[in-house]
Amino acid sequence: MAEKNDAASKPKPEFRMQKMYIKDLSFENPNAPKVFTTMKGDPIVEVNLQLSNKKIDEVHWEVALQITAKVSSKDDSKVLFILEIEHASVFMMKNIPEEHMPMLLGVDCPTLLFPFTRQIVSQVSIDGGFVPFLMEPVNFMALFQNAKKKKEEQKN
């Protein structure tokens, strides 16, 4: 019975996204309007994704995705567009055991944020005069595990 009282008196963990926002957004269309009349075939796509987080106060964290996409034509290597975005969110995390924080910040938070970032990127490419730029889904768990494995290998 004492165990039940201890569990009941222990505060329950709380986790939720509170606010999403764009910190930085850039779309460059350096070869417009000529690119629209000369573009042929599938483009070459380079995407770079970075994840960052920072503690705001006792219960709030900011998690941000930084994505840079450079799309060029295959035939003459002309840049079609360059899109850069830093999309972030404030997450409230209360009564979360410290050992769970890396997984929340590196997997759960970006997994919740990414679909919204992907939608913004797609809409910006449409507004720039191109077909929707649909980024592939990202497996943040695999990225987290790979980064953890690399870190462990560097220690040895």
Q: Tell me how crowded residue 132 is: count the other CB atoms within 10 A of its CB.
A: 13
CB 53 within 8 A of CB 113: no
Question: What pLDDT is attached to residue 109?
Answer: 97
Task: Please tell me the distance from the alpha carbon of residue 14 to that of residue 123, in angstroms, as a whole number.
Answer: 33
Domain for residue 145, yes or no?
yes
Domain for residue 33, yes or no?
yes
The model scores a pTM over 0.75: yes
CATH of the domain at 86: 3.10.420.10
Domain for residue 52, yes or no?
yes
CB 113 within 8 A of CB 105: no
Selected residue with higher pLDDT from 150 and 25: 25
pLDDT digits (tens, 9 = 90+) for 37-87: 887 778 999 999 999 999 999 999 999 999 999 999 888 778 999 999 999
**Domain range holding 17?**
11-155
Domain for residue 3, yes or no?
no
Domain for residue 5, yes or no?
no
Query: What domain count does the chain have?
Result: 1
Selected residue with higher pLDDT from 24 and 41: 24
Question: What pLDDT is attached to residue 7?
Answer: 57
CB 69 within 8 A of CB 50: no
Q: 148: pLDDT confidence band, cut at 50, 70 and 90?
A: confident
Domain for residue 151, yes or no?
yes
